[in-house]
Each structure stands twice: as structure tokens, then as C-alpha cells.
Amino acid sequence: MIKPEAVAAGNMGKILDMIINGGFKVIALKYTRLSRQEAGSFYEVHKERPFYGELVDYMASGPIVVAILEKDNAMEDFRKLIGATDPAQAAEGTIRKNFAESKAKNAVHGSDSDENAALEGDFFFSGRERF
Ligand code: ADP
Ligand code: MG
């Protein structure tokens, strides 16, 4: 996902370009907005963390871009491309280093396992939206 502040700042094209140039194939792509309820359920795993309410409000605050990406070793390679959660810790040349505003508003989301990638893909896309 390209998160609301990165879309609002006009960075969706540059971020998609880095993803495609990084060797990822776009299987599905959508411009959409989460309700608070949907954002809450997407981030259910973080329910007990102190920033959960802030995260849900933020993720529902504006339109986002969501995608399913394919590549050998996709999950790990995508985490490498986006960089650390906190942009202050993110390596040079990563998406978060280039575009994140803060640890909370950090430009992009990446799945943390192949299993969660499949669940998150099913959250946003039907079969006929995948290529
Ligand atoms: P990642 O997105 O790198 O997998 P996490 O899964 O730990 O990171 O956290 C999910 C999201 O919650 C982060 O991308 C960020 O938007 C937000 N977040 C994480 N830690 C904090 C924090 N300490 N304060 C505010 N927001 C946070
Ligand atoms: Mg995570």
C-alpha cells in the first residue's frame, strides 16, 4: 500500500516507479480509501499496541494505492526496497528514506510474510482483478 500522506504529497507515481524498477510485477492495482472500520480490521494484529488508534485514523484519512506484487523472494525484497519502519533508520535509496514523513506516516506498507500477503491481497482484490 502507498499510504495516505504519500498519495497526498503527490508521490504515488514515483513510488510505483521504484517498485516496478525494483523488479516487481504488478498483479493487481487499485486506488481506494479505507473506512475506519476497515483500517481497524486490516491492522487488527496491532490492536494492543499504543499507536493503534492513531494508525487506524491515519490509514483512513485519505485515499491509498493498494497492489499485489510478484517477484522471487518478494516479501523480503520488498521490505528491503521500502526500508526500516522509522525513516530515520531507513537505508539510503529506500522508499521510506525518500518519502516517509515519520515513523507513523512512513509512506508504504509491506506484508511481513507470504501468508499475510495472501490474506491482505484477499482483503482488497477479487480474482478477476488479478493479472
Ligand atoms: P512495518 O510497517 O515496517 O511492518 P509495523 O508492522 O511494526 O511496521 O507497524 C505498522 C505501522 O504502524 C507502521 O508502518 C507505522 O505506520 C505504524 N507504527 C509503527 N510503530 C509506530 C510508533 N511507534 N508510533 C506510531 N506509529 C507506528
Ligand atoms: Mg508490519
Closest-lying ligand 1 atom to the alpha carbon of residue 59: 16
Taking the C-alpha atoms of residue 15 and residue 110, their distance in angstroms, rounded to an integer, is 13
Query: Model pTM?
Result: 0.97
Question: What pLDDT shows up at residue 129?
Answer: 98
Taking the C-alpha atoms of residue 96 and residue 111, their distance in angstroms, rounded to an integer, is 15
Residue 34 lies in a domain: yes
| Structural domain of 120 | 4-125
Residue 82 lies in a domain: yes
Q: What's 77's domain CATH number?
A: 3.30.70.141
Q: How confident is the model at residue 23 (pLDDT cuts 50, 70, 90)?
A: very high
Residue 131 lies in a domain: no
C-alpha cell at 36: 475506519
Quick one: the chain helix, strand, coil %, rounded to 5?
A: 45, 15, 40
pLDDT tens-digit map of 75-115:
999 999 999 999 999 999 999 999 999 999 999 999 999 99
Residue nearest to atom 5 of ligand 1 (CA): 85
Closest-lying ligand 1 atom to the alpha carbon of residue 84: 3
The CA 130 to ligand 2 mean position distance, Å, reads: 23
Residue 130 lies in a domain: no
Question: Residue 11's closest CA among 75, 80, 106, 111?
Answer: 106
C-alpha cell at 104: 507513523
Domain count of the fold of the chain: 1
Q: Catalytic residue positions?
A: 109
